[in-house]
Structure 1
Amino acid sequence: MKAIMINDKFPGPNLNTTTNNNIVINVINNLDEPFLFTCKLGYKKRSHTLQNLYDSLDLHVGQCFGVLVTADQEPKDHYMVASTRFLKTVLTSTALLRYDGGKGAASPELPKPPVGWAWSLNQFRSFRWNLTASAARPNPQGSYHYGKINITRSIKLVNTVGKIEGKKLRYALSGVSHVETETPIKLAQYFGVADKVFKYDTIKDEPTKVDTSDILVQPNVLNIEHRSFVEIVFENQERTTQSWHLDG
């Protein structure tokens, strides 16, 4: 039996609040698939983004959102719901937001999730950075406006899937499926022996045609100059939605 746990609990924990309090909740997706976080309270995505109101938030694999919840609803118990997305079997878990002195149990009818992947895509496109928040911060090229920066390099990453020797299924970027080296990459760079451990730029910046029947299994490391401004284009040629995690 599978279930979604919130903070290692099923059902999730109870959160106590007072009417008109502002609560910051950090929501992290540690699952292997996307999930939907829903509540009948108003959400405002923070971290210097424009403060928009949301009833639900789609969190893809590895994503972390900080949200500001205003306790301005009827003083009683309210459910916060986490449910799986884009899967045939829907799993659901709840946490309870409890008003101090509130009267009444949470509604047993959980809110229905939005239908279709287009809703998730449009929500993500609605997130906008607040350029007036905090102090002005120039980018590495000295400009305060990213639209005025000259792109020094453009890299297209095409995700593909294929089988190695007709047996083992592997996912790849532009025809190369990454494997870790016996000597850690950063260690090899530090001691100046990178050329003996791996090769830089095994994929082209603009792949012409990716042959899924000939996937290479080797370290996939791109050599990029420090403080250069690089445009990265993600291209999905598969028939299924792919999740990307950018770190750094």
Structure 2
Amino acid sequence: MDLRRLVVAAVVLSEAGILHPAIVGGEDHHVFLDWEVSYAVRSPLGVAKRVIAINGRLPGPLLNLTTNDVVHVNVVNTLDEPFLLTWNGLQLRRNSWNDGVAGTNCPIPPGENWTYVFQAKDEVGTFFYRPSLALHAAAGGHGPIRVNNRPVIDVPFPHPDGGEFDLLIQDWYNMDATQMQERLDGGRALPPPDGVLINGLGPYEAELTFEAGRTYRLRVSNVGTRTSLAFRVQGHKLLLVEAEGAYTQQKHYASLDVHPGQSLSVLVAADQPPKAYHMVVSSLFAGPELYGVGTVRYAGSSDQMPSGNPLLDDRSSHNTYNRSMEQAKSIRMNLTSGAARPNPQGSFHYGQINITRTLLLRNDESEIGGRRRCTVNSVAFANTGTPLKLADYFRVAGVFTVVSGWPETRNPTLSTMAIDASYKDFVQIVFENRLPSLQTWHLDGSSFFVAGMGWGKWSQDARSTYNMVDAMYRSTVQVYPKSWTAVLVYLDNEGMWNLRSQDLERRYLGQEVYLRVSQGNSEVPDPRDEMPMRPCLPMLSCVEKLKVLKAGTS
């Protein structure tokens, strides 16, 4: 490690104890990791492609945590372009400085490093990390995250005595990510993907081994570019137990939909005759239908390949939006169990809290300045290259505009705006999808209650159909074509938080917004509510540019 990196490491470690006492308690466990981001070449579908690997691996290493662990991930960027990682689903309590998106973090320049420091505060569940700049996520750079319960907290299902497996499923393009970006910059849409992968592997390369009579936990995340996927294991039932940190009412499914950006956990009992079985991931709502096929093999079985047709076995029902919405509505939160804490998840009676404001966000497509854009209320987000969080911190005018709401503009426009939100507001966000394709939306910094979804346009009358008792609490939700989805979120995490489409094409073309959650009564947030900025060499160079910008506008 060179002197420059040693200086950064020393700064980070000293700050962990000096600048951030709220994040570091004497009893908290610290996890220190070094990750090197580099290019590699992989050919999962037989076509060589330049990918982004972490420590030479795709998927990258497992980030295996326990509730309240303090994480120090030193990321060294050996790419020839700036890079950022974001932690999909982790709430990063009071710490949006480490969110890893362009609105909060300065990119890590080539040859530099940045140490993410955050705590898995009061969290459990299944999540993943991925790149957040440009179309890097289409090239890889992702990996699984587990946040395990502390031993003193009961889990509402028997311990999986066979073990746990992380399964990252995704659509895959043989096209290089830079070519994909050039295509979008030229006004052309992306073509359909070329295939479906399981843990970065092509057909029949992913394998799991079961021992008869044991139970396994499969943690499944859709880390793909844009495609909803159905997951199933031939001849076995999937017992859904958790989704993005919330325990579910336990129900068996033959197949489960996992939309872009979503994560879930299922228990699978190895209770079938000991042989080999298909593990199938199939695309939804898009043609031609694509399949990723792996193998579940029972220990001691002589079978080399599963029998039957993997493209037909175990199809629970037709591939329709109606069927998918019904499945989504059947997934409910387990109100009787705790999650990261011993008190039941249902003790937060969200249905009895008054909604302080409603944000109606309509997504669409428009042509702006002669180029195809994806919009929210007719506004496509413009990334200025300056983190909104830093501009806000240093009070630099002209970088972005703060708006109290997000009214729909008369003419489609390109703009950099953030929605002003009050700390501890209870907000209703309604996503209205005007397009003929499914959308998914993700909120950093908070999870939300998925209160309702339905066809057509949303109206106030739709509230009578909401689930105000046991709606799922998650960070990523789907919005079906020509339909709406309503979520309720308690904004108790101060900071600048990204609300984005999980379709990489749509996000790149402008479908994202930021929520500026603050108390509004102080220029300097209380460290108990939001941690101060943590200097680091990439961050400091970005700050110097901001100071020059501020001097020029004063």
TM-score, with length taken from structure 2? 0.41
Q: Which amino acid aligns with 2:217?
A: V
What does 1:106-117 correspond to in 2, within 5 Å?
106-110=306-310, 111=313, 113=315, 114-115=317-318, 116-117=320-321
Q: Which 5+ residue runs of structure 1 have no aligned equivalent?
A: none
Question: Could you tell me which residue of structure 1 aligns to residue 274 of structure 2?
Answer: 75
Q: Which of 369, 383, 391 does residue 180 from structure 1 map onto? A: 383
State whether structure 2 residue 239 is matched by structure 1 residue 26.
no
State whether structure 2 residue 440 is matched by structure 1 residue 243.
yes
Q: What percentage of residue pairs aligned between the two structures are identical? A: 33
**Deviation at residue 20 of structure 1 after TM alignment:** 2.0
- Partners of 2:404 and 2:421 within 8 A in 1: no
Q: Which amino acid aligns with 1:241?
A: L
**Deviation at residue 174 of structure 1 after TM alignment:** 0.9
**Deviation at residue 242 of structure 1 after TM alignment:** 2.4
Partners in 2 of 1:238 and 1:8 — Cα distance? Answer: 30
Question: Could you tell me which residue of structure 2 aligns to residue 45 of structure 1?
Answer: 240
Partners in 2 of 1:223 and 1:58 — Cα distance? Answer: 34
Aligned residues: 238
- Partners of 1:203 and 1:220 within 8 A in 2: no
What does 1:63-102 correspond to in 2, within 5 Å?
63-102=262-301
Q: Which of 174, 197, 203 does residue 5 from structure 1 map onto? A: 197
Between 1:68-77 and 1:102-111, the stretch displaced more is 102-111
State whether structure 2 residue 170 is matched by structure 1 residue 170.
no
Runs of 4+ in 1 over 6 A off after TM superposition: none
TM-score, with length taken from structure 1? 0.87
**Deviation at residue 202 of structure 1 after TM alignment:** 7.2
- Partners of 1:176 and 1:220 within 8 A in 2: no
**Deviation at residue 163 of structure 1 after TM alignment:** 0.5
**Deviation at residue 27 of structure 1 after TM alignment:** 1.4
Residue aligned with 1:122, SS: helix
Cα displacement string for residues 64-91 of structure 1 (whole angstroms, at most 9, x for unaligned residues): 1221111111221111101111111112
Higher relative contact order (CA 8 A, sep 6+): 1
- Partners of 1:19 and 1:72 within 8 A in 2: yes
Q: Which amino acid aligns with 1:94?
A: V
Partners in 2 of 1:184 and 1:43 — Cα distance? Answer: 42
C-alpha spacing 1:18/1:70, structure 2 compared with 1 (3 Å): same
**Deviation at residue 46 of structure 1 after TM alignment:** 2.0
**Deviation at residue 101 of structure 1 after TM alignment:** 2.5
- Partners of 2:335 and 2:345 within 8 A in 1: no
Partners in 1 of 2:207 and 2:437 — Cα distance? Answer: 37
- Partners of 1:22 and 1:71 within 8 A in 2: yes
Cα displacement string for residues 171-207 of structure 1 (whole angstroms, at most 9, x for unaligned residues): 11111111222320111122222x4311112753xx4
Cα displacement string for residues 203-231 of structure 1 (whole angstroms, at most 9, x for unaligned residues): 53xx4x664xx211111311101111111
Residue aligned with 1:196, SS: coil
Partners in 2 of 1:107 and 1:36 — Cα distance? Answer: 20
Residue aligned with 2:250, SS: coil
Structure number with the higher helix fraction is 2
State the Cα RMSD in Å.
2.2
- Partners of 1:157 and 1:235 within 8 A in 2: yes
Partners in 1 of 2:231 and 2:364 — Cα distance? Answer: 30
Partners in 2 of 1:96 and 1:112 — Cα distance? Answer: 14
- Partners of 1:136 and 1:144 within 8 A in 2: no
Residue aligned with 2:255, SS: strand
